[in-house]
Structure 1
């Protein structure tokens, strides 16, 4: 099915896209003792990009690990396997960038069970491999939250490198309260709760106060945070923050992965059109449906350009990276194509 002409958007940069190489999943399954397999559309990067081509306009993608980020650091995997599998993932993403320069951009995972090793892998993934962002799950293992002091140095280094930190909900969280119903409760509310709690911990703990230049992205149109910001301002005084929670929340970037235009419109109103980025969540979601949500918003030209391409292009520094990777012919260095 082809999408109708999309309100003047001539090019797209999809900031919420998942390529999950099969050999990486196989390694995680062996380490975790699992047997889960995904459909072929998760594994085949060439086929995924062909699906984007069917949208009948240029589409570049930034790949994130999504709900699988937590599998690299959960309680069932040992530190040694975590190191090996994060390296395997990151080098595979870098290979994707080399195969599709200027069109496919990869982001890294880190062996968060060992914060010192995670710092080393961060330098390798960003500095040597040229990956453009960092993925982090809503929780590390069963008990460690993102506001744990052991990760302070990691946040400091991510901030200094200037790469975005993308929080995606973790399939391991809230299993008891949100189990059953063949995944309906978890998928509809669980992931939203997880990403909301995780991001707000970074606010309440002062991580965003101490790291004012940290580029934090949370998925799924900001989860519950835009809609409950007033309640957070009212009830969070005990945390002793020097600013209101809303001021920190509005520094966060989010995506349009929400199958309801009214909700995405609310997120744009809260964060501003300069902090919201187009995402399809492919292959979890249909890119045609994702574009219909954008179409229903009836955005002005400037907001449309920002949300569908420019925001992600600038946040991830893709002009500078394209110029250094030989992809400058596809993406003009220092500019966001309109």
Structure 2
């Protein structure tokens, strides 16, 4: 098979000193051990999975550990390390800049520095920060800034602001709910419509969002006056077009989601031009990435859809990679 030259928008950087910090604090992201990472490990994974370019991001818990000063120091450190990786090999690496939420002032300052000075390709935001989801009014100033900059924002889940279920790692289900909650927060708060120039990329096929799309439609219809609710719900096609269009404002990656049970649901809801490839390496180890890539390659997608997800759709977000 020809090399698909994939662009991987869900590929994590775990700098050595940052990994040591997490281990020292006893943090197990998503309920698993902090993985080993290096550019060499990424390159090896990329070579064996047809990935030409990986856009790097820091995963949960980001850099917030309870204090703005510490978050600002670590945000700058991880962003400068990611920028160096991109600088050394811009054809094969890019990066999403890590911010300091819930410290909004620090987040705006770091976003400006990362975009203007470091050449960040976009921004990564956790779905919730100290229990606040992205549609919360506390984050309006940051969203207004990112809207003005027409930023690509990769939304990655974190730990739910709730007690975990004993014996169930957060990545298994809580991560998916966290992404779903923040997508609903952006929709129901009106932030998605107020800041239309932000391109939000939701991790892991948007969590449960595609599966519950009709529940979202009913929720939105329920906010209308009673007389309009009945008219909308009697005209199914009109309701789906009107409210489904909001769901189609999002972009989605297929990390850990390119399966016979998940991919068809995603492609029924999302625009197929707004679905992109993702591996979730190194939190997803190489065998898991290979399994998901094999499932994706065997999904029987129409060639234009597959080529779009592999590479072409990402070029709409990052035109600089077209020359790679």
**TM-score of the pair, normalised by structure 1:** 0.82
Output one character per residue of 1:207-241: Cα deviation in whole Å (capped at 9) or x when no partner.
Answer: 01111222011111121111111112112345569
In 1, Cα distance between equivalents of 2:221 and 2:115: 37
Deviation string, structure 1 residues 230-261 (Cα, Å, up to 9, x no partner): 11211234556999542211110001121523
Describe the shift of the 1:93–1:300 C-alpha distance in structure 2 as closer, same or farther (beyond 3 A). same
2:220 equivalent to 1:233: no
The 2-side partners of 1:308 and 1:224 are apart by 22
The change in CA–CA distance for 1:174 and 1:81 in structure 2 (over 3 A counts) is closer
May I ask how many residue pairs the two structures share in their alignment?
302
Name structure 1 gaps, 5 residues minimum: 323-327, 332-338
| Equivalent residues of 1:265, 1:297 under 8 A apart | no
1:109 deviation in Å? 0.9
Aligned partner of 1:300 in structure 2 is: 302
CA deviations over 1:131-175 (Å, ceiling 9, x no partner)? 11111112112x32222212112112212222211111102x144
Cα deviation for residue 308 of structure 1 reads 0.2
Structure-2 change in CA distance of 1:25 and 1:233 (3 Å): same
User: In the alignment, is residue 66 of structure 1 matched against residue 59 of structure 2?
Assistant: yes
The 8 Å contact of residues 122 and 151 in structure 2, kept in 1 or not, is answered as yes
Following the alignment from structure 1 to structure 2, what is the Cα–Cα distance between the partners of residues 27 and 239?
45
Residue 107 of structure 1: SS of its match in structure 2? strand
Q: Deviations over 1:19-73 (max 9, x none)?
A: 211112334556xx33656232xx2122221222133x4521111222233xx22
Paired residues for 1:114-125 under 5 Å:
114-125=103-114
Compared CA separation, residues 210 and 14, structure 1 to 2 (3 A): same
Structure 1 outlier segments of 4+, above 6 Å: none
1:21 aligns with 2:51: no
Q: Are 2:5 and 2:311, in contact at CA under 8 Å, matched by a contact in 1? A: yes
Structural RMSD (CA): 2.3
Which position in structure 2 is the counterpart of 1:217? 201
2:69 to 69, 72, 80: 80
Determine the C-alpha separation between the residues in 1 that align with 2:27 and 2:196: 42
Is contact 1:166–1:217 with CA below 8 Å preserved after alignment?
Answer: yes
The 3 A distance-change label for structure 1 pair 201 and 35 is: closer
Write out per-residue CA displacement over residues 157-206 of structure 1, whole angstroms, 9 at most, x where no aligned residue: 212222211111102x1442x421152xx322111111101111010000
Q: Is 1:12–2:11 an aligned residue pair?
A: no
- Tell me the secondary structure at the aligned position of residue 289 of structure 1: helix
Structure 2 unmatched runs, 5+ = 229-238
Given that residues 107 and 133 in structure 1 are in contact (C-alpha distance below 8 angstroms), is that contact kept between their aligned partners in structure 2? yes
Provide Cα deviations, 1:244-285, integer angstroms capped at 9, x if missing partner: 542211110001121523311221221121011111111233
Contact 2:122 / 2:153 at 8 angstroms: preserved in 1? yes
Match of 1:335 in 2: none
Q: Which one of the candidate residues 119, 140, 155 is aligned to 1:152? A: 140
| Residues in 1 aligned to 2:112 and 2:106: alpha-carbon distance in whole angstroms | 10
2:232 maps to which residue?
none
Q: Is the 8 A contact 1:17 1:283 kept in 2?
A: yes
